Structure 1
């Protein structure tokens, strides 16, 4: 039995572009009904790396942002866009 996919907390404060990337990766991953492991496989990255990205724990290279975007089938720039209702603190 697989766990229910849970999107990011919409009340989360996004203080940096790293936070925005984390929020957007998780949002798009959940919309595609992918686990972190499945996204990692599709992107050629480790599941733990995807987890660290989604928790804004690491700086991510442009190459890896591109891999994630391709796996999620979204333009890489979309992963770096501030969500409309959320503002930087």
Structure 2
């Protein structure tokens, strides 16, 4: 795995969860208590999340933090 791949995987997974919930990036950012541009940076893999932030985001969307860090096919990510 190359440097930065994990950030991109987390971003893709978060984007998938957001879209499954029918939320805009702005609404998702509001739900998580972060700014929209910060959320966009996370989704693009440009932001390096702390473990604490990853855990908080996972809790807010109701998934185990591990669900966000592993690459999966888009059809493997399930909505609550």
Which of the five TM-score ranges fits, normalised by the shorter chain? 0.7 to 0.9
Q: Pick one of 61, 70, 74 that aligns with 1:81.
A: 70
Q: Pick one of 36, 39, 56 that aligns with 1:47.
A: 36
1:54-85 Cα offsets, whole Å, 9 max, x none, are 01111111122122212322111100011148
Q: Which has the larger radius of gyration?
A: 1
Aligned residue-pair number: 71
Q: What TM-score do the two structures reach when normalised by structure 2?
A: 0.77
Instruction: Choose between structure 1 and 2: higher helix proportion.
Output: 2
Q: Structure 1 stretches of 5 or more lacking a match?
A: 1-14
With a CA cutoff of 8 Å and minimum separation of 6, indicate the structure with the bigger relative contact order.
2
Q: Pick one of 55, 63, 72 that aligns with 1:66.
A: 55
For the aligned residue pairs, the C-alpha RMSD in angstroms reads 1.7
Q: Pick one of 21, 26, 44 that aligns with 2:10.
A: 21
Q: Structure 2 stretches of 5 or more lacking a match?
A: 75-80
